[in-house]
Structure 1
């Protein structure tokens, strides 16, 4: 009876932690305009691009680089103990974020540092939650437990989109303060109730060389890829930046060195021989491919909705962040319906069929998105979002359960960390891939379109030429943040000298969306095709996991 009660305690607490961590991963997406206004930062200023990218991706980068190390350390010192430490760190960072005292660049730097600390807490939560569940639940109930856990985790990322818009309209500090009561409750609850029920490796030493090589290598690679999408000198992107090139080379060399270290050390941080297990290797490969395919999907749909579709339908740019989250609810609904159902059924019938069909549905959703025009009818969009959500739900829980069922109990922490690392790294790479495709498309198509549009509105040719040749990241991030950049890009004197009708046209809700729509849509279709290909490869990898095998106790 005690064990029966404990497994539900473990499920509810770890689900609360994952929900909070995922919610905070996305709540900033919608809240950035209010946050920038609150700390008195102009988001359209060139220097603000670095702040924006760090606030968006710093959390994910830190979490991704620490997951495997934290998972391995947890196998030695206790998963429940370090999960609880993660809850405490996350809560402390949320308090610091809500109380950020600085303004301007100092305030932005403080927010970034506190956000990175929040990512450390998130790393402990993610690396241990699935291991704790695998320890607590018998093999025939793990799929159901993973389904409930992951549905609320992914649900947290979607709820963050809406909650961020609602709270940001009241006060930007509430965006971070909302996590504090949940974090305090979860920290105390985990301290009092969670315990280690699985096998631990208390006598093993920590592989410090492997941990350090992996963390530095992955950090260098992800940061270099992030700065590669920023302007450098006169270039619209930073792939020619020596620091970017050096970071990519350093990251690849260190990660290759990490693999060698793990093969020769006596107590590796992660046992690469686990990849000899067919179901484990196939499950992680399909997980990584799905993360690269879908990790940037929310970002791109938000840009599409906020920068084009919502303004064209009469929403002011200031309203678009909240409504973008609301209009994406069908994807949440699809995941909420199918996540626990597929997890429950996979306990009886195995993971291969559900996970493979889930990836095929994701492929279908990406292909269907390529057929939508910039100003689409909402019903087809709803249907596609439902298909995408159902596909995510069918894949997530069965695949995670299958991965965790194949590993020895004493390696569950490290295995959970590696699974989460592949997922988070894939998401970070996906965002970089999508942003790069968009910026290349904007750089190629937008200048001529922008120039012609401004000339038609009566803007002098010299000014139109200058504005049209500005880095496209300004237009991209304006769409992402729900800003109409025309008031910022055009000099005030030029704007005021235009006829009233021209001013209203340029500052209205139609001019800017129609300018960027051709470039954005051509880029999005390329990204969706790439994601469709990755998803179909992920479906093949998922199918190659083999038939249902007896899970390890």
Structure 2
């Protein structure tokens, strides 16, 4: 096995390797959210239903979550540089094919393959950046990598909105092509692979384990993405895929614990700090993707903003996170305990959620969001790097790559669970709040009668007959009720998201970490 110093880069070479890895991480994460604002255009252009076009998001997420746990093993088989560059090429080629798709299911297929290529970029980028820095600067390396992971979901919606407004939806995929080509050339030229001591023969490859893994996480991701649209367990499809997910997980665990050369080394989870880290990564994903999902939904559906306006709202928070990352890296290097930072970050996320709960109205102004989102930006910086270093702090050698794959997968699944649960919760709360509001509207109430008559007179002044004006008045009143019910539902979602983070604070403070965990040696990750 190569000595750890052989992978450390210096000067301009380190800068190039770092930029290559960050660009690849950003490419992957931006593509997770950039399509959200283009779905309507895709639907019209490809003649698809809303349910069919939803698969454009689902297929990418499934490809992502299937490949992430296998990245460590695949890097061993093909060499990390070759695997990394091949993943960039697959992602880039599939981006071109996505933009060229003429029917919806062709687009869905290439989005799945794009997700397979992209999923590998996240974990591998993290390892490449970490190994390029000497041990005393590895907290900073985590901070640099964290920029891509935290900022990526924020950049997607405004960038996608701008492209759709000024060009057409295929260009959200075409912009990946020149960047992908440059990144692949840089990867082949500058990224180096460790010398692996083990490589499986064809007969030793755990094909059955791969199959069970794909069945388990693919089915689970599908259930989470499609559950609300299909009315959860009232749908035969959702029940079937839930059963497949449970069976796949059971047989995957059995296979990996009994096969001589497992595709995913589950025994690494015997490590206590990694187990804590995987749980915290799940919660981080839940909060990161969940809050990134709620705000654009609220501003567009309730306040009537454009996709670009909604996306731009999140940019100051992303810049705050970027500004904070190097500071957090330095604090870790000076020995500040990760659990204190994580607890502070969770408490700040609670304050951000409570703030959101307080300011939401049917016509909240743009300025009301600014400082609230700055607090979110600080919270995310305090959560990401300390969770990453705490997770891997007591792992060594090959275990580090395996641990990074677990935390990466849990962060992605946390985001999927977060969006699925929040979507369902909003839908159910809308019904509850509308029912409560309607029950309190007594048609004999003088205030209600006065409001309806005022609306009727307004419509009559525009040339409507008395009957038509009355019907329009009641419709407008019903719309107001629906809008108010929607705002109350968003408020509830914010409050409970914050409470979830607040409850975690005392448990995080009880976690014991290794001394000098902030200087964790990740030099042999993925060996």
Fold match, TM over 0.5?
yes
Cα distance 1:80–1:306, how it changes in 2: closer, same or farther (>3 A)? Answer: same
What does the per-residue CA deviation read over 1:386-431, in whole Å, with 9 as the maximum and x for residues that have no partner? 1111111111122213333432222333322221111111111111
Matching of residue 388 in structure 1 with residue 376 in structure 2? yes
- Report the CA distance between 1:94 and its aligned residue: 0.9
Distance in 2, Cα, partners of 1:81 & 1:503: 67
Aligned to 1:201: 198
Is 2:284 aligned against 1:290? Answer: yes
Question: In the alignment, which residue of structure 1 is the partner of 2:343?
Answer: 356
- Residue matched to 1:230: 229
From 342, 352, 361, the equivalent of 1:365 is 352
**C-alpha distance in structure 2 between counterparts of 1:419 and 1:199, whole Å:** 23
Q: What is the CA–CA distance in structure 1 between the aligned matches of 2:500 and 2:14, rounded to whole Å?
A: 36
Q: Deviations over 1:94-136 (max 9, x none)?
A: 1112222x2xxxx222222221111011112123111222332
Which aligned pairs between 1:299-448 and structure 2 lie closer than 5 A? 299-309=293-303, 311=304, 320-349=306-335, 350-374=337-361, 375-446=363-434
Inter-partner Cα distance in structure 2 for 1:338 and 1:505: 51
Counterparts of 1:259 and 1:451 in 2: how far apart (Å)?
Answer: 51
Q: 1:517 to 1:185 in 2, by over 3 A?
A: same
Q: 1:88 to 1:157 in 2, by over 3 A?
A: same
Aligned length: 486
**Residue 549 (1) aligns with residue 515 (2):** yes
What does 1:173-188 correspond to in 2, within 5 Å? 173-188=170-185
Tell whether the 8 Å contact from 2:290 to 2:415 is kept in structure 1 after alignment: yes
Residue by residue, what CA displacement relative to the aligned partner does 1:495-536 show, whole Å, maximum 9, x if unpaired? x999998999999xx989734323323332333233223323
> TM-score under structure 1 normalisation?
0.80
CA distance in 2, matches of 1:64, 1:108: 22
Question: For residues 72-113 of structure 1, what are the alpha-carbon distances to aligned partners after superposition, in whole Å with 9 as ceiling and x for unaligned?
Answer: 22134322221111100110011112222x2xxxx2222222
Distance 2:388 2:352 in 1: 22
CA distance in structure 1 between the partners assigned to 2:74 and 2:81 by the alignment? 12
Distance 1:146 1:521, change over 3 A: same
CA distance in 2, matches of 1:512, 1:114: 43
- 2:157–2:308 Cα contact (<8 Å) kept: yes
SS in structure 2 opposite 1:197? coil
TM-score normalised per structure 2: 0.83
Pick aligned residue for 1:4 from 2, 10, 33:
10
Q: Distance in 1 between matches of 2:378 and 2:467?
A: 51
Provide the C-alpha distance between the structure 1 equivalents of 2:478 and 2:171, rounded to a whole number of angstroms. Answer: 31
Instruction: Show CA shifts across 1:446-499 (max 9, x none).
Output: 58979999x9xxxxxxxxxxxxxxxxxxxxxxxxxxxxxxxxxxxxxxxx9999
Show the counterpart of 1:461: none
Q: Per the alignment, in what secondary structure is the counterpart of residue 295 of structure 1?
A: helix
* Stretch deviating more after TM superposition (18-27 or 368-377): 368-377
Work out the CA distance in 2 between the residues paired with 1:390 and 1:545: 22
Q: CA offsets, 1:197-237, max 9 Å, x none?
A: 37553258433332221221111122123332114xxxxx2
Structure 2 counterparts to residues 482-497 of structure 1, below 5 A = none
Contact 1:287 1:423 in 2 (8 A): yes
Equivalence map 1:92-131=2 (5 Å):
92-100=93-101, 102=102, 107-131=103-127
User: In structure 2, do the counterparts of structure 1 residues 82 and 384 end up closer, same or farther at CA, with 3 Å as the change threshold?
Assistant: same
Q: SS at the partner of 1:296?
A: helix
SS in 2 for 1:195: coil
Match of 1:90 in 2: 91
Partner of 1:26: 33
Aligned mates of 2:86, 2:481 — CA distance in 1? 49
| Structure 2 counterparts to residues 511-550 of structure 1, below 5 A | 514-550=480-516
**Preserved contact between residue 143 and residue 401 of structure 1 (Cα < 8 Å):** yes
Measured in 2, the distance between the counterparts of 1:422 and 1:438 equals 24
Q: Secondary structure at the match of 2:334?
A: helix
Q: Which among 141, 146, 153 is matched to residue 149 of structure 2?
A: 153
Aligned alpha-carbon RMSD (Å): 3.1
Q: Please identify the structure whose Cα radius of gyration is greater.
A: 2
Closer/same/farther in 2, CA of residues 143 and 55 from structure 1, 3 Å limit: same
